[in-house]
Amino acid sequence: MTQDGAMPTDPTAGVPRSFDEIIGQAQAAGRLKTLAELAKLKGSAAPHILLIGPDGIGKRTLAGVFAREVGAVLSDTAAQEMPRGGDLLGVLSNLNENDVLLIRDIHRCSNTIVDLLNEPLRQFAVDFVTERGLHARKIRHRLPRFTCIGTAQSERDVPPAIRSLFPITILLGPYSEAELGRIAETLCARRGLSIDEDAAALTARIAGGSLQQLDRLLSFWRDRIGSSRGNLPPMYCRGSASSAPAPQEKRLKT
């Protein structure tokens, strides 16, 4: 709760800022933390990383924490936002030394974009061809060394041409209800909301292992059901005087 009693609206409230703040995904977070520490120790960009897991599992969050841990800027884009080669070149031209480039849904990149990614990811360079025919010349433009993090929903979605560009592959699995319950309590606390253990457990159960779905549920209950005093949601809190009617509870569970 804010000082004036209003509900906080900062969408970044509760987002982990370090690997120590991440709940769940212990193996993935541990590997990323090790890679970040090695990169800082060497003073150079980490190897390119492929994060694989279903939607809403926290791939974007992990990429953001990784960039923050290595002291780099995160450049966030998606395959759908780069339909043409010029779009990719525009993104690459804005990178600085040791930056982190996140390409969400990289398996959706067109063959043209995949071909263009080869030189930047392998050689940190881009080749430009000037003129045509007999007068054609190839000019190589050097890029700063950077780390590319690509994401995909499953291993079978990623063609060999893309997989070969990423030395590191990290698999992410669904969160347990216990982990999501802890995350729900942490998010609410950092956003100035109050939620009791039973309400957090119910939220985790409905979320079905998805971090994204959990956040959407908390936002929904904050905006639609939560009181202006910051209790979220009062009808599901343990010991609440007003319990939800059975039909409404059933509707929220589906």
Tens digit of pLDDT per residue, the chain (254 long)? Answer: 233 333 344 445 567 889 999 999 999 999 999 999 999 999 999 999 999 999 889 999 999 999 999 999 999 999 999 999 889 999 999 999 999 999 999 999 999 999 999 999 999 999 877 667 666 677 788 999 999 999 999 999 999 999 999 999 999 988 899 999 999 998 888 888 888 888 899 999 999 888 888 988 888 877 765 544 455 544 444 433 333 333 343 333 33
219 and 115 both lie in a single domain: no
Inside any domain, residue 10: no
* Domains contained in the chain, number: 2
What global pTM score does this model have? 0.79
Q: What pLDDT score does 12 carry?
A: 54
Q: What pLDDT score does 14 carry?
A: 63
The last residue of one of the domains, among 148, 171, 194, is 171
Domain CATH code at residue 249: 1.10.8
Inside any domain, residue 213: yes
Inside any domain, residue 224: yes
Domain CATH code at residue 50: 3.40.50.300
Domain range holding 238? Answer: 177-253
DSSP string, the chain: --TTSPPP--TTTT---SGGG--S-HHHHHHHHHHHHHHHHHTSPPPPEEEE--TTSSHHHHHHHHHHHTT--EEEEEGGG--SHHHHHHHHHT--TT-EEEEETGGG--HHHHHHHHHHHHHSEEEEEES-GGG-EEEEEE----EEEEEES-GGGS-HHHHTT-SEEEE--PPPHHHHHHHHHHHHHHTT-B--HHHHHHHHHHHTT-HHHHHHHHHHIIIIIS-TTSBS-GGGSTT-SSPPPHHHHHHHH-
95 and 194 both lie in a single domain: no
44 and 151 both lie in a single domain: yes
Q: What pLDDT score does 133 carry?
A: 67
Inside any domain, residue 139: yes
Q: What pLDDT score does 131 carry?
A: 64
124 and 235 both lie in a single domain: no
